[in-house]
Structure 1
Amino acid sequence: MRKRNLTVFLSAATALLLVAPNLSTVASELTPPTISSGATAPVSGGQSQLVSFRQSASEMRMEGEDAVRELTFYLSPDQAATSGALRLSYTNAVSVLPDDATVDVELNGKPLSSFPIRSPHGPTTHDLPVAAKDLVTGWNTVRIRARQHHRIDCSIEASYELWSQFDTLVSGFVAGVPAKDGDLANLLSVGRNGDAATEIRLIAKSETAHAALRDSLPLMQTLALVLGRKDIVVSLGELEGTGPGIDVYVGDLDDADLPQSAHDALAGAPRGLSVRRGDAGRYAVTLRASGKAETQAFLLAAVNGPLQPLIRANKLAAARGIIDGNQPGTHELSEVGYRTTPFSGRLFQTSFDIVMPADLYPGDYATVDLHLNAATAPGLAAGTQILVRVNERAAASQILHDPEGVRLENKPLELPLRAFHPGVNHVRILAELPTSGDLACDPAARDESRSRFLLLQETTVKIPPLARAGRLPDLAAFAGKSFPFAGAGAFDIYVDAPTPARLGSALSVFARMAISAGHPLPAEVKIGRPDPAKTTGNVLVVNVDGGAMESAELVAPKGNRLHMAATDALVTASIGGTGPSSHSEALLNAFQVETQLEEDKLSAKSRITAWLSAAATTVNRWLTYREIGDDVHIETQDRLVSLTQSKVPDSDAVWTIVSATDEVSLSLGVAALTRPGTWTALEGEESVIRRSDLELVNRKPQAYSFFPITDTSPANLRRLAAAWLSDNFMIYVALVVFLMGGFGWWIGYTVPRKGVRTVE
């Protein structure tokens, strides 16, 4: 009955929250630092407030010679009516030449200011004064353009060494007045903690944390969805947290299971959902109600009331910068925020995201077509080309070298669908534009007034009709769309022990799933380990002590062969932590490596054997569509946390298991796993965070299973057949050979028996 009531409530809330997968603007109360631009931060009413940018740290990194980012922050009507200052704090790479490196800033489509990039040894902060007439209530957009060059190296490879990182903790908008206390819009005025994460902390006793979490689950999801941040972490404790974040209190004064800090917070709060601003950028969210029915009623009233305009604004903010691949269509780059801008450097780059449906079946039955409208200047050197990378893997290229320049009008570049996966796909367009003068590397001779390349914003991306069939296991669909948990059916979250660390880790993953799905998920937290014989639905399992869970052994993947998340990285680096699993084996391998013969001293037999082995490996990779890096080995002791997805045999149930060897590893691993850049890179059957460097490693499944096909139209069935044959290349070849052989046999059998007829 409890799960059914929860499902009914979440279904009602979903009608509003479905439109808003991403909403976040944060603020923390800070004393304005010394303003390097010489301006003075405006203060009204004796207090100012820093409203942080919505974007996470990875979205505030400027890479390359000419990088552009759009940042957003949210202002209340009172804050928008008062002048303030845009605060930008950054650190840049040592390789950036300070003589001509600059940042140009626009606010809401109007030029605001510029400043030099000269801070390689620590952060530098600039406050740029903003008049009230240039602000708007709700979302404000800041467009930052960083132009930077290398100090001593003018090669294209050196362009990858150029970066400027803006600080998410310090950067933002210094509002002249703080947000009004008691207004639920204050949820948009919460800052990040020292780990650059948005913390939501549930205040509860350790011994009753499970019961408190059960009653607070709808509220925790609502907070995550209203904030919409991709860097949310959840914690539990009896005392409020420190620094910027949100403390959540749920219950009433007659609840003896609440800690004293929760009683104190609820005593000063009105009945229903409210927010109160505390010290050091900390906010207290209270949901004072008696019983589960009243708790749900108050929360639903807030979703239908004061939270509704925030949700609507969130829908508009979330739609910018992405291409929806759910339906076939053509999209211009202008739709994702790109502007036509002449480029005079050596390596042009721009990027955007394509969000594919959860039931995408990638294969070689179609392509995503990029129609280029671009031009190059005369005099570029050999090697001038356009490269397109999908999920950091090379997908297509086009040679542009012509002494007289090249003009492209709707030039198609076909991006194979196999390069895409369900969920978020990052597409990057690069143009390598060398000249003979780059070899001299003389900054004084560089002519920035003469452009080398122009990519028009009328360049289009065409999404084809897609084959639709849900595949499992597929962590890309899980991370991108919370598949298969985003359906209407309720599911269980199993935590093997009700400790704050384990429950907090489970909630951090669950909050990230809700944001990916874009709506509340009907789930219930249970303590213990699921029984495969009795568990019929989908489950999320959080388990400490790894493979010791007996029920997980039925569905957990075997083997230890993994591949790096970015198998075709821009800069190649050695992979650590790949040593043998035993001390004796390590000594043996080290001895063989030390004493092995050089290649020119090997016998002919050894050379032929090595060549045949390499050729067989290459052919096998080609037939199975595997890439170099797919067989990276990772030691058991180097596994910080693993995320595994498997389908239960003889059932449609899917188990997604998060496991670690201890609670410390679980907390650290889940924090790394749910980072924005890492979460969108999940794919395959198993994802592991390495202890040595906190990097992601993925393992592809040996085979897929499919959910029941919902689209049985002839067109979809035809695409599915083509996709399946492209995955099973040998069957396709055998079928062609069989048909050709059958036709030849028919000709050889029929013609002799029909004889020859002479026509007179």
Structure 2
Amino acid sequence: MTRALAFLIALLVCGSLAAQPAPFDMSGERPAEEPAPPQRPEAAEPDAGNAGRPAATAPEPDRSDEAFRRYIIPFRSLSLTGETDRRTWSVYLTPGQAAGARALTFSYQNAIVVAPETSLLSVFVNGTLIGEGPVQAADAPQMRSYALPAGLLRTGSNEIRFQVRQRHRTDCTIESTYELWTEIASDSAFISFGNGAARALTALEDIQAVGQDGAGRTRFNIVAPALEQPSRTAALMRLAEGLALFGHMPTQTVLFRQDLPAAGEPGELMVLAGTASELAPVLRSLPPEASTTPVAAFVREGADRAPLLVVSGPDWPGVEQAIEMIAKATDRPVGVARDVINTERWRLPETPQVLSGKRLSFSELGVETSEFSGRRFRTAFAVAIPSDFYADAYGEARVLLDAAYTDVVRPGSRIDIYVNGSIATTVPFDSARGGIMRHLPINVTLRHFRPGPNLIELEAVLLTESDRACAPGSAASPEPRFALFDSSEFEMPDFARIARRPDLAATAGSAYPYGGGRPIALYLDRTDADTLSAAATFVARLAVSGGRPIPIETLTSPLAAANRNTLFVGAIPQLPKALLTQAGIDTDSQLSWGNAAAGVPGRRTQMAFNEWQTRLKGGGGVLLSVEQWIKDRFDISLSSLQLIPSEEAPFAPPDTATLLVAQAADPTANAAWTVVTAPSPELLREGVSAIADVSKWGQLAGHISIYEPANDKVTAIAAKRLDFVPTTPPSFWNYRLIAANWLSTNILYYAVLLVSLATLLGLATAILLGKLGRRS
């Protein structure tokens, strides 16, 4: 009876509550207290152009594996600019990830001037369109999620491509196309999975699946309890090289520590390196065989922790054998030149390397046949050159262009070609009536090429009467006005082959002179965690540039570095003064760099004098003005008019710089010394981590390069004196090319030689005519 009465009362209460009117709901207006999960994008209105395309969907995530996601953008952010743009790269997936992937999710935002009705953002995976939609996130970021069909992804590398077509809302000028952009946030772009097996790493090849975090960075955390023992340094550097070559990501850093952190983050691999007795207090699930044999394997320490890579053995020689298991898997023969440079994790297709004269079709370089109806068409490809490239002063490559344009394209239209961001050539269209260009030769100066991969961009600027009128409300015409065909070719001529020293560009591009099979002699001022981390990150980046792990030998004294290619890493106060002098670094920087109050009075006075001279006289008076005028008009600097190069002045790094990389010949002039230094070990680690980004690594050049975090850029100082190092067998043809480039750089020698030859010719002619000519 009591239970029945209670049930009746509850029923009456619920009924009265249900009868009350619903209160006014503001949930749709108030800001979310927590970040909302990816939402299903709004369905676009059906139209004929979207018929048959995959619809954007947001599948329900599997809560059992919700915390794990693979970020897919290997950059800080992905920015697609102009009227048409695309970026393609690859993502490595394990078997569990390939089978369990459910959706690709990302957030994007675009410029307010982008017209959504004529702009389209598309996503391709392994060449298959998985979704596309209008570009319509000008007010706030918009989340999109596309289902990944079963069987689309595969174990290993998977191609990801983002592609955009954009039009301006109101403006029809060429300048307005530079206002068009769509940016995809790296920390919002990821692949979600539907099973717990996606997190697991089992084989050494799965190191490639570490990926990157939401900022596009990859980190290898090496836990080594005995890392401060100098005898362990060479092997730990070798381990860092092997991990970096497996990962092969555009931004990789190595961090050493002695304790195991709480949990791993995305884009991070935890590696435990040490003997079984050293690791036993750190890791509960240490493989039992580590006490008897070398081990390099993944283990799982709890369900909520990312897999750990254990590199161990019964003693240190056993650990070194385990490290070799990783390094050997990434090695390649020393004497075999690479046909391609592996750039697939940040740019596809992989970059071909040209060692001499060669033609490559655009189809081989990843440039597809395209038809374009806008105002500024842009496409790009990459070509790599070796470390001993020496044709920057006179050489020219050629683009043999196959293209077409209609008669609406008016005079003033042109084709621009950029190399590594610098304009290399401009060619106007030669007809106002339209036409087809078949292998139109366009010369491209080699001045802006550097060892390693080089990005070449081709841009067609198209002017039309309709764009000049730009009638309000007129829709963009879909009719193509320009076409580029993939039968076009890029032709690299034969070029001189001889290495130069110092040349940080060659070191960054292909690890020269450290990648020739001989061990790197490594000197560290101390073996603390920060210095070791900086050295490991730098050495790992060299290994990736060279395409193979480089043997390491540690030095306990800089005196043992004579006649050896050596890498010096350490904070500047601890480095020997003789080393700084040899590298061309001002020794006063040991006290003043990073400490403005400790600056040397004489140098402060000179700096102030130079600043006031520049301020009052416009950069140094008449002489500098004349020099600048000659350089602007004739591309000739006064330094090229010297018969004997001036001495290198000691370089004092500015306080705005936190890292300095310098290269010079050793005292015997038979080897190269490279110094990596900073005001403190902490700044050293942070600075090397910053330049490990492939976009900044490629900016290292000249005799000295410095990194300034305030403007996030690398500044290079060219060397005044260079030594030449032969790298190929002697040949008359190569010597002729070397002489041509050297004389083009040292024009005063060329002028003296030309006058001397003309004088000799005149004297010979006078003598000959004196003996054979008719006397009057």
TM-score between both structures, scaled by the size of structure 2: 0.79
**Worse overlay, 448-457 or 515-524:** 448-457
Structure-to-structure mapping, 1:512-661, within 5 angstroms: 512-526=541-555, 530-531=558-559, 535-545=562-572, 549-557=576-584, 582=604, 612=626, 614-615=628-629, 618=632, 621-622=635-636, 636-661=654-679
Structure-to-structure mapping, 1:261-660, within 5 angstroms: 261=282, 263-264=283-284, 266=286, 272-276=295-299, 282-301=306-325, 317=344, 320-364=349-393, 366-400=395-429, 402-439=431-468, 441=470, 444-526=473-555, 530-531=558-559, 535-545=562-572, 549-557=576-584, 582=604, 612=626, 614-615=628-629, 618=632, 621-622=635-636, 636-660=654-678
Contact 1:190 1:281 in 2 (8 A): no
1:343, CA displacement in angstroms? 1.4
Equivalent in 144, 149, 155 of residue 162 of structure 2: 144
> 2:690 & 2:715 partners in 1: Cα distance?
12
Larger radius of gyration: 2
The 3 A distance-change label for structure 1 pair 120 and 640 is: farther
1:437, CA displacement in angstroms? 3.6
1:82, CA displacement in angstroms? 4.7
Unaligned runs of 5+ in 1: 1-29, 561-579, 598-605
**Worse overlay, 663-672 or 679-688:** 663-672
> 1:331 & 1:536 partners in 2: Cα distance?
40
The 3 A distance-change label for structure 1 pair 31 and 134 is: farther
1:227, CA displacement in angstroms? 0.8
Q: Any idea what the Cα deviations from partners look like across 1:181-213, whole Å, max 9, x if unmatched? A: 533344233243454310101113487364554
1:32, CA displacement in angstroms? 6.6
Contact 2:237 2:539 in 1 (8 A): no
1:410, CA displacement in angstroms? 0.3
Contact 1:83 1:175 in 2 (8 A): yes
AA in 2 matched with 1:243:
E
Equivalent in 70, 80, 86 of residue 51 of structure 1: 70
**Worse overlay, 170-179 or 223-232:** 170-179
Contact 1:251 1:290 in 2 (8 A): no
Q: Does 1:158 align with 2:176?
A: yes
> 1:648 & 1:607 partners in 2: Cα distance?
38
Equivalent in 234, 244, 261 of residue 224 of structure 1: 244
Q: Any idea what the Cα deviations from partners look like across 1:314-367, whole Å, max 9, x if unmatched? A: 979578242321243211111122111111222211112111011111245542
SS at match of 1:636: coil
> 1:587 & 1:62 partners in 2: Cα distance?
45
> 1:31 & 1:481 partners in 2: Cα distance?
45
SS at match of 1:334: coil
Give the match for residue 152 of structure 2.
134
> 1:506 & 1:302 partners in 2: Cα distance?
19
SS at match of 1:143: strand
1:78, CA displacement in angstroms? 4.2
> 2:370 & 2:540 partners in 1: Cα distance?
39
AA in 1 matched with 2:221:
R
1:101, CA displacement in angstroms? 2.8
1:259, CA displacement in angstroms? 8.7
Equivalent in 262, 265, 286 of residue 243 of structure 1: 265
The 3 A distance-change label for structure 1 pair 379 and 194 is: closer
SS at match of 1:215: helix
SS at match of 2:254: strand
Q: Any idea what the Cα deviations from partners look like across 1:703-737, whole Å, max 9, x if unmatched? A: 21111343212222222222222222222222222
Q: Any idea what the Cα deviations from partners look like across 1:577-613, whole Å, max 9, x if unmatched? A: xxx984897599669958x89xxxxxxxx99988756
AA in 1 matched with 2:315:
G
Contact 2:384 2:454 in 1 (8 A): yes
TM-score between both structures, scaled by the size of structure 1: 0.81
Give the match for residue 252 of structure 1.
275
Structure-to-structure mapping, 1:9-88, within 5 angstroms: 33-36=38-41, 39-41=57-59, 46-47=64-65, 49-53=68-72, 55-57=74-76, 60-82=78-100, 84-88=102-106
Q: Does 1:667 align with 2:685?
A: yes
Equivalent in 201, 226, 229 of residue 221 of structure 2: 201
- Which structure has more RCO (C-alpha within 8 Å, separation ≥ 6)? 1
The 3 A distance-change label for structure 1 pair 747 and 588 is: closer
SS at match of 1:370: strand
SS at match of 1:126: strand
SS at match of 2:187: coil
AA in 2 matched with 1:554:
T
**Worse overlay, 748-757 or 661-670:** 748-757
Give the match for residue 9 of structure 2.
none
SS at match of 2:210: coil
The 3 A distance-change label for structure 1 pair 215 and 634 is: closer
Contact 2:358 2:491 in 1 (8 A): yes
The 3 A distance-change label for structure 1 pair 443 and 144 is: farther
> 1:655 & 1:498 partners in 2: Cα distance?
20
1:268, CA displacement in angstroms? 7.4
Q: Any idea what the Cα deviations from partners look like across 1:433-490, whole Å, max 9, x if unmatched? A: 1334434556732424122321111110112222111111111111110000001111
1:99, CA displacement in angstroms? 4.2
Q: Does 1:730 align with 2:734?
A: no
AA in 1 matched with 2:152:
D
Alignment: residue pair count? 688
AA in 1 matched with 2:674:
T
The 3 A distance-change label for structure 1 pair 526 and 750 is: closer
AA in 2 matched with 1:273:
A
SS at match of 1:264: coil
AA in 1 matched with 2:513:
P
Give the match for residue 125 of structure 2.
107
**Worse overlay, 95-104 or 370-379:** 95-104
Give the RMSD, CA atoms, in angstroms.
3.8
Contact 2:223 2:258 in 1 (8 A): yes
The percentage of aligned residue pairs carrying the same residue is 25
> 2:382 & 2:407 partners in 1: Cα distance?
32
Structure-to-structure mapping, 1:686-697, within 5 angstroms: 686-697=704-715
1:686, CA displacement in angstroms? 1.3
> 1:307 & 1:486 partners in 2: Cα distance?
12
Contact 2:380 2:455 in 1 (8 A): yes
SS at match of 1:737: helix
> 2:316 & 2:344 partners in 1: Cα distance?
33
Unaligned runs of 5+ in 2: 1-34, 43-55, 333-338, 588-601, 641-648
Contact 2:218 2:252 in 1 (8 A): yes
Q: Any idea what the Cα deviations from partners look like across 1:372-418, whole Å, max 9, x if unmatched? A: 11122222344311111112222111101633124211011112233
**Worse overlay, 204-213 or 707-716:** 204-213
Contact 1:138 1:313 in 2 (8 A): no
Q: Any idea what the Cα deviations from partners look like across 1:661-693, whole Å, max 9, x if unmatched? A: 123322332122111111112221111112421
Contact 1:80 1:132 in 2 (8 A): no
**Worse overlay, 238-247 or 685-694:** 238-247
> 1:302 & 1:236 partners in 2: Cα distance?
18
SS at match of 1:164: strand
Contact 1:230 1:515 in 2 (8 A): no
The 3 A distance-change label for structure 1 pair 645 and 610 is: closer
Contact 1:479 1:682 in 2 (8 A): yes
